[in-house]
Structure 1
Amino acid sequence: MFQTLLNKLSAHPGLWGFLRRVVEDGFDAEKDVIRRELDPWRDRGKRQFLDFGCGTGEFSICFPPESYTGVDIARHYIHYAGRRRPGRYAVMSGAGLGFASGSFDGALVLGVFHHLPDDLVRTTLADLHRVLRPGAALLVMEDIPSPRPWNVLGHLMHWLDRGDYIRQDDAYRALMQPYFSLRRSYHIKSGICDLAVYVLDRLDQWEAVESEAPVFRRVGE
């Protein structure tokens, strides 16, 4: 019954966005991470950013309009975002991004991978590696099981969440090899939700493909 209700609510982008903002305290924590880790307003107009799984374009305001491209598989979300949010939008899936190789200087994936099975996450990461330029950064933020047993509302939200693949931290890390190396990771609290943050660097193609072992390390190790 709850899942049916959530599916009906998510069919209305404006209402769904409002409810998510309430649950996640206006997304202030996520927006702070984007500003800090991607620094999108630096060198305005000289860098291009991809928001993969952008939904209703909630985070487009964190980027210069001329530098932002949002993609999502949900056509009604893209239609909503295109009419109300700055930037460019397109309907695409992780099975194949319709951009030329090396099109972007950075990418954001926020709350997407916990909706996807492992094989599709790997496919998506491979194509993100392709469309990012050498030296580009990938910022991933994903739901994790709440480490606080008293966070009853957070546990309830994950039970209601339509994402069937909320993973432990180690599982997310394993999926991101061998195309990206981990610069740093940490956890944040967004309203009642607990998120893991991964700041990653794009590996060179030869390093990703020919290395005897996947490279996935913290700076300083």
Structure 2
Amino acid sequence: MPAIYHNNEQGSRLPTLFLDLEGTHQLKQTAESLGKTVVEEKACQLTSLFEKGLKKDTIYYTACDSNTIYEKIEQIQSMQTYFRLGINLPSQESDLLDQLLKKKVSIILASDRAESEWCEHFKKSQEYLVYIDPWFQAHLIENYQVIYNAFEHTPEQELELDIEKARTTLSDAEVRVFEKILEGKSNRKIAEECFLAVATVNNHVSHLTKKMEANDRTHTIKRAIEEGWVCVG
């Protein structure tokens, strides 16, 4: 699993696995200039890579795309091995960035920088245990403010759903389930309160998440706030 390090640990010597959405040659050249061993692996061979063992001062990288990256992250994070996980992705993939931050990613770089700038940020990422390209800072701050406003409210305040707006996209059953999600209820608790099977609630949550083009429950709430369906009452 990706390690959680203390500040005095030398993260730069730990093995790093990069998932590269651009397939750029820059990573190999820059890493080798820093004295790192660089190993390219096919995405389908990641499991065998861990079976052989990851080596210090080595950077492993594999190409993937936005449709397969979650599957690959789940696959490699199930491995009981300490390493840093890096992602090289286009700067416009901000929604993807939101989800990657939940996956214990150590390094995130903007792949569409000019080559010289990208190389400099890659080098900086080797000096820190966690490094996120400054290109993403504005989005991170905006995202934090949305989440803060949604969840850091006083006990008297609640997240209120505009049901009519929600019904333009969701079914009546999905609206009822989403209201419970806004109350912080688990799927099992929703099932109990709505007299439904847990499997039925799971299906409703899955369908409403897809309809709202979100990746999970938290992202669904964020999307609802952005669409003006939810306000803090």
TM over 0.5: no
Q: Name whichever structure is richer in strand by fraction.
A: 1
Normalising by structure 2, report the TM-score. Answer: 0.29
Q: Name whichever structure is richer in helix by fraction.
A: 2
Normalising by structure 1, report the TM-score. Answer: 0.30
Larger Rg: 2
